Amino acid sequence: MKGKIKYLLIYFMLITLFLQILFPIDYKELYFNRDKNIVKEEPINIKQSNLPDDIYTFMAPNDTLSLMLYFHDCIMYYIDIEVMVPNLVSIMKIQVWDPESQQYNIFENELDYYSGSHKSYKIPFGTALSGLYIINFSVETPTNINVLIKIEEGSKILFDKIPSQKIDNIVFYNVSRVYNETYIEHSVFIDKSSAYEFYIGRVSSISKEENNLIKLNYNITDSNNVNFEIYTNLTMTVIGDLHSFNFSTAVAGVHKVRLRIECYTSNVNIAHAIIGPVNETHHEPSNETRGFTFSVPIEYTLGFFTFIGSITLSVLIAVFYHQKKRKSQFELKF
């Protein structure tokens, strides 16, 4: 009896060893990838399903529609509006309040409808914060009108502007709400003899009734306290107009990046990104035979081994019971 149990245990150990060799688990890679995703803050691909896409009626002479929606931070949203019935001159204003109750005046224009042709408007709005936003549509109209309002969630801000092969090399990324005389300072480590790419641009719309003149003063101070003036009174009047430059330092270390913004509207959002040097070394695959590795999640592996262990234990119990029964029958005969 002991000999059979011994052989079964050896058989079970050999099966376990064989399965571990055939399906190795790369635990180090598993946890590294989890941390990597957290650090790099990969954009969320799940789109919101509750964004409006409907026709709304606005009554003469004045009417207002308010929507409360959850927006993710650092995402570009697009507000599409289109008048759906013939009308005289109607004027629509769109205002946005962010989760901190800060107001943005993003649109004011006539809603045109010429000879049955529809003129639509697309108003981009890049967010700096996550949370509930209030979007207010107010209309002045001599007649009742129907307006199609559709809000779409776009990509992560700047990620459609920066080459995809450089996304993994982002060392700094930020979207900030700014107003007149806003000062922003960031500390970034810059290595010596490597070119870093800097991107900055306006990502929220400004109503044409507002003064959309925005001036940027931008300078970098290295670890030896040497200052470099990059931009002086750079104008950023066009949304989506991205400004970029390369910067290499003579002294590796923490650099101070300072921005001073002058603007004459209530609030506006500015996106800023710094990309480290891209490793352009490409390794051609060799002709040698490569080993095959198959990574299995730990939950599946534990479940599989538990299943095998339970079967083995059941076999051992059955063999033990059978041997004990045979022994009892043998004793009764004598």
Name the residue ranges covered by the structural domains of the chain: 2-25+298-333, 53-156, 158-275
Q: What is the pLDDT of residue 19?
A: 54
Is the predicted pLDDT of residue 188 greater than 50, yes or no? yes
For the cut 70, the answer to whether the pLDDT of residue 143 exceeds it is: yes
Lowest mean pLDDT among 20-24, 141-145, 264-268, 292-296: 292-296
Q: What pLDDT score does 122 carry?
A: 95
What is the model's pLDDT at position 223?
Answer: 94
- At residue 110, the pLDDT reads 87
Alpha-carbon separation of residue 162 from 4, 66, 150, 179, 256 (angstroms): 67, 34, 27, 26, 23
Asked if the domains 53-156 and 158-275 are classified in one and the same CATH topology, the answer is yes
Q: Quick one: average pLDDT of 183-188?
A: 95
pLDDT for residue 326: 58
Beta carbons of 5 and 316 less than 8 angstroms apart: yes
Query: At residue 310, does pLDDT exceed 80?
Result: no
User: Minimum mean pLDDT among 23-32, 156-165, 273-282, 295-304: which range?
Assistant: 23-32
Mean pLDDT of the chain: 79
For the domain made up of 158-275, the CATH class stated in words is mainly beta
More confident residue, 331 or 105: 105
Please give the class, per CATH, of domain 53-156.
mainly beta
What does the alpha-carbon distance between residue 204 and residue 271 come to, in Å, rounded to a whole number?
10
Structure confidence at residue 36 as a pLDDT band (50, 70, 90): very low
Q: What pLDDT digit, counting tens, does each position of 1-19 carry?
A: 555 555 555 655 666 555 5
> What is the DSSP secondary structure assignment for residue 169, as one 8-state letter?
G
Pairing of strands 62-71, 170-178: unpaired
pLDDT at 330: 45
What pLDDT is attached to residue 31?
32
How high is the pLDDT of residue 328?
53
42 vs 57: which has the higher pLDDT: 57
* Kind and range of the H or E run holding 304: helix 298-333
Q: What is the pLDDT of residue 265?
A: 87
Could you tell me the pLDDT band of residue 278, with boundaries at 50, 70 and 90?
low
Overall pTM > 0.75: no
Residues 244, 199: contact at Cβ < 8 Å?
Answer: yes
The 10s digit of each residue's pLDDT in 233-273 is 999 988 888 999 999 999 999 999 999 999 988 899 999 99
The residue among 177 and 291 whose pLDDT is bigger is 177
68/75 Cα distance (integer angstroms): 17
Whether 78 has a pLDDT exceeding 90, the answer reads yes
Measured from the Cβ of residue 243, the count of other Cβ atoms closer than 10 Å reads 16
Higher per-residue pLDDT: 218 or 325: 218
What's the CA gap between 256 and 233, in Å, rounded?
19
CA distance 37 to 45: 13
Does the pLDDT value for residue 149 go beyond 70? yes
pLDDT number for residue 277: 86
